[in-house]
Chain A
Amino acid sequence: QMQLVESGGGSVKPGGSLRVSCAASGFTFSDHYMTWVRRAPGKGLELVSYISSGGITTYYADSVKGRFTISRDNAKNSLYLQMNSLRAEDTAVYYCARDRGYNYAAFDVWGPGTMVTVSS
């Protein structure tokens, strides 16, 4: 059974840092691009960052560029998002999601999400 489980969310003050993790199981993690998608209160889905299967290529939304860093450890089947200089507008549920690949681009496996709250 393919599964993603996020951890590491919580409350942090503006300017603070947080690292969220995503543990994958039930599939060959190293075969897939992985992404972080967030949903802020009252807003739609926003792709925050993605990383290629080997970890060479990364992308960041303009809203987080220079503050967030995505990484992966294929030996541990894990995905990470290091979030620095956090702002109130980063408050959201953060989901990790798998791109199914194989000539299609769609996020077919999602974690349940982890809440990040940035507030003084």
Chain B
Amino acid sequence: EVVLTQSPGTLSLSPGERATLSCRASQSVISSYLAWYQHKPGQAPRLLIYGASIRATGIPDRFSGSGSGTDFTLTISRLEPEDFAVYYCQQYGRSLYTFGQGTKLEIK
């Protein structure tokens, strides 16, 4: 089973700043099968990025994904107040889907 480790666990930033979230896999992940989600309390998770770097429908271009192999990054170029949430990476491989443990992005 591929284990995804996200860092940092909590990221404290101010609106307007740049956020960089990391997702490291225990084994190489096919880029087509790496996704990022945003989750806010009381709401369903929202797909942000799939295929490691493709923005999902309706996602603002301040969100971008990059990486390959075992290291992937979600970048939010300039934080808006509505971006403070928990972010998860997720992969599919060998017939298993796994999530990272999440990064909480909080207002500083």
Q: A107's contact among B47, B57, B98, by CB below 8 Å, is which?
A: B47
CB of B64 closer than 8 Å to a CB of A: no
Q: Classify chain A: how many residues form its interface, as a range.
A: 20 to 34
Cβ–Cβ contact A50 & B99, under 8 A: no
Q: Name the A residues within 8 Å of B39 (CB-CB).
A: 39, 45
| Distance between A5 CB and nearest chain B CB, rounded to angstroms | 11
Q: Name the A residues within 8 Å of B97 (CB-CB).
A: 35, 47, 50, 105
Question: How long is the Cα–Cα vector from A99 to B91 in the complex, in angstroms?
Answer: 12
Closest to B1 in A: A62
Binding site for A on B (CB under 8 A): 32-33, 35, 37, 39, 43-47, 50-51, 54, 56-57, 86, 88, 90-92, 95-102
In the complex, 23 of the A-B residue pairs with CB atoms within 8 angstroms, ordered by the A residue number, are: A35-B97, A37-B45, A44-B99, A44-B101, A45-B37, A45-B45, A45-B99, A47-B97, A47-B99, A50-B97, A104-B32, A105-B32, A105-B33, A105-B35, A105-B91, A106-B35, A106-B56, A107-B35, A108-B50, A108-B56, A108-B57, A110-B47, A112-B44
